[in-house]
Amino acid sequence: MADVKQTYVYTATDGQTSFSGSDNNSQTLKYTDSTSIDVYQNGILLIRSDYTATTGTTVVLHTDATKNDILQLIVYDVNAEIEVKVYQGSRAVAYPSIADQLDDIYHNGIDEWKKTIKAVKDKYPKE
């Protein structure tokens, strides 16, 4: 499953406004939705009018950063949470009820029950 949030950290040079590419941890900035990003400068959450984030790979401050300012970008992937819920729901519906599972064990043995459960796990694997 994809991560629900990704954090990028940049150390600014004097007068820097544009942040993109590899951060301090060699992670390459990317986002899909400019409304799902929080931008912090030296621990202070900036409001949307303080920066522009529209390209998917760059954040541009409207005011120059000072040397050694720390810019932290937290990117939220709202689809990742949806994917997790879909996966969980699909797998949960596919499993036989507890009563049916116990009945399967009683009549067919544990090995047959394991085959039934494995079929569901194979159909809806964890990514």
pLDDT in tens, the chain (127 residues): 455 789 999 999 999 999 999 999 999 999 887 788 999 999 999 999 999 998 889 999 999 999 999 999 999 876 655 555 666 777 778 888 888 899 999 999 999 999 999 998 888 887 6
How far apart CA 71 and CA 12 sit, in angstroms, is: 7
Question: In the chain, which ranges are E strands?
Answer: 5-11, 18-20, 37-41, 44-45, 51-52, 58-61, 70-76
- What pLDDT is attached to residue 85? 61
How far apart CA 59 and CA 75 sit, in angstroms, is: 11
- What pLDDT is attached to residue 92? 79
- What pLDDT is attached to residue 55? 87
- What pLDDT is attached to residue 1? 44
- What pLDDT is attached to residue 42? 96
- What pLDDT is attached to residue 83? 58
pTM of the entire predicted model: 0.61
